[in-house]
Amino acid sequence: MKRKILPLLALALAFLLPSCVEHETEITLNKDGSGTITEEAIFSAQMVGMLEMAAAQGGGRNNPLAEMRDEAKAKEKAKAFGEGVTFVKAEEIKNDKGGKGVRVTYKFTDINTVSFNPSDSMSNLAPQGPGIKVEKDDSKVTFKYEDEVLTLNFPQPGADEEIPDVAGAPDELPAAMEAQMKEMLKGMKMSAKLTVADGIAETDATYHEGDTITLLEMDMDEIFKNPGGFAALSKLEDKDPDKAAAALKKIKGAKAETQETVTVKVQ
């Protein structure tokens, strides 16, 4: 199956599985080109209980919370973000609904050496569900920072290039299946953002508010409020960025940058 949806959006759909309720990646840029990368993953109280029980039965193995807190693995993962990116800390976080998670912080000295791949951020959180196979993707968002102007370059598939997909997922969802998925993905959110610490003077980013640019955002509760919302995302094509952007804006709860490049002038 080949599905020409936006690369970031394809990855989001691939990793929206019932393991992590909320996942957020935020890149913060300082004026001198340095900055931080933070990743937050929060699991529901029910999922935490299941993970801890499964980990106890398996001798502590296959627990995403423990995996994210593992300092050695976090240091290794820092290399995936690029040269000069180092691990700072991993800390446990909670929400007011009894959920638990982990916030991992990395730092970088030069954003020009940083690259961002959503599949790297979430691969250790997404189990292989029944009938679902997640294909890994190596495309990355890259950055160029010069004279206080940041350029973001987004991966673009070629005309015949096959991008990551969720194998076995239907193009159309019957009402019963959509209701089942709605319950399974209830409360699930995912986002990737860029924040400029010193402020944004000017940008052509599609989704920009204050000093923060949203690269990707999915709120499944809001998406399922759209008639056929999930199926509409699955069929979204990216051959024409303008048409893709217009179609995406009609789906409440979903955001994804559709431009090949975005520029940000730092204050």
CA geometry: angle 147, 152, 156, nearest 5 deg: 145
Confirm whether 36 is domain-assigned: yes
What is the value of pTM for the model shown?
0.79
- pLDDT tens figures, 144-200: 999 999 999 988 655 444 444 444 444 556 777 777 777 777 788 889 999 999 999
Report in angstroms the alpha-carbon separations of 21 from 16, 27, 64, 94, 244.
Answer: 9, 20, 13, 12, 27
DSSP symbol at 262: E
Confirm whether 124 is domain-assigned: yes
Confirm whether 1 is domain-assigned: no
- Contacts for 32 with CB less than 8 Å, ≥ 6 apart: none
**Residues 215, 194: contact at Cβ < 8 Å?**
yes
Kindly give the residue spans of alpha helices, DSSP state H, lying in the chain.
7-15, 45-57, 64-69, 71-78, 118-122, 175-184, 220-223, 229-234, 241-249
- pLDDT tens figures, 65-94: 777 788 998 999 899 899 999 999 999 998
- pLDDT tens figures, 101-154: 899 999 999 999 999 876 565 554 444 444 444 445 557 899 999 999 999 998
User: Between residues 137 and 229, which one has the greater pLDDT?
Assistant: 229
Confirm whether 72 is domain-assigned: yes
Confirm whether 2 is domain-assigned: no
Kindly tell me if the per-residue pLDDT of 3 is higher than 50. Answer: no
The range of the structural domain enclosing residue 145 comes to: 7-266
Write out the DSSP string of 146-187: ETTEEEEE-----TTPPPP-EET--SS--HHHHHHHHHHTTT
Confirm whether 86 is domain-assigned: yes
- Per the structure, how many domains does the chain have? 1
37: burial class by Cβ within 10 Å (0-12, 13-18, 19+)? buried
Which residue reads 């999922």 in tokens?
47
Confirm whether 30 is domain-assigned: yes
Confirm whether 195 is domain-assigned: yes
DSSP symbol at 78: H
Percent of the chain scored above 70 by pLDDT? 72
DSSP symbol at 117: -
pLDDT score of 177: 72
Token representation of residue 115:
């690259």
